[in-house]
Amino acid sequence: MLWLKAFHIVVVISWFAGLFYLPRIFVNHAMATESAEIARLKLMEHKLYRFVTPISWMVLASGLWLWFGFGFSGGWLYTKVALVLFLFAYHGYCGKLVKMFAADLNTRSHIFYRWFNEIPVLILIAVVILVTVKPF
Ligand code: HEM
């Protein structure tokens, strides 16, 4: 189980690298005016989203394996899974935003994306406390 948990933590960290960086690119894209920079940002968004999506599936698979394979239970785990499902919705919405930016359909300001960028931070703090402290 410890090898699986180590793998779980590695893919979790990799997923969050993408969840922290992609909205940051959205911030820059919402401010960009030059066509060469906009084309570069579109490519970065597309490649990063395509790279980080399979990693999110590895987080899910390793988490479910830990959960059902080793009989974990408790309020901490169900709350964690609820927050993680919200994180998957956030990830999916980022995918929708990548398509909107690619089609030059974004209407939101860089301020919106700066706040949007903070959501995964709050979820990470809550999930790590839940899984290590197991408060309930
Ligand atoms: C549906 C997805 C997920 C499920 C079902 C799941 C389930 C689990 C389970 C059962 C453990 C073992 C707990 C223990 O050994 O005490 C674990 C460990 C861990 N999980 Fe997840 N997890 C998921 C996603 C995530 C995400 C998204 C994060 C990060 C925000 C995360 C962070 C961790 C950490 C840091 C540990 C190691 C805790 C420790 O060793 O004390 N997990 N996970």
Q: Is the CB of 128 under 6 A from ligand 1?
A: yes
Nearest CA to ligand 1 atom 4: 63
- pTM of the complete model: 0.93
Nearest CA to ligand 1 atom 28: 12
Write the burial class of residue 63 (CB in 10 Å: 0-12 exposed, 13-18 middle, 19+ buried).
buried
Q: Is the CB of 63 under 6 A from ligand 1?
A: yes
Q: How confident is the model at residue 41 (pLDDT cuts 50, 70, 90)?
A: very high
Q: Hey, what's the torsion of the CAs at 128, 15, 122, 74, to 10 degrees?
A: -40
Q: How confident is the model at residue 111 (pLDDT cuts 50, 70, 90)?
A: very high
Q: Which tokens belong to 132?
A: 């290590």
Please name the residue that has the structure tokens 């993408």: 18
Give the per-residue pLDDT at 94: 98
Mean pLDDT to the nearest integer, 86-90: 98
Write the burial class of residue 59 (CB in 10 Å: 0-12 exposed, 13-18 middle, 19+ buried).
buried
Count of other CB atoms within 10 angstroms of residue 36: 8
Decide: 19 and 90 in contact? Cβ < 8 Å.
Answer: yes
99 by DSSP, 3-state: which? helix
Pocket test for ligand 1, best of 8, 16, 55, 67 (most atoms within 8 A of CB): 8
What percentage of the chain carries pLDDT values higher than 90?
Answer: 99
Mean pLDDT to the nearest integer, 105-124: 98
Nearest CA to ligand 1 atom 19: 131
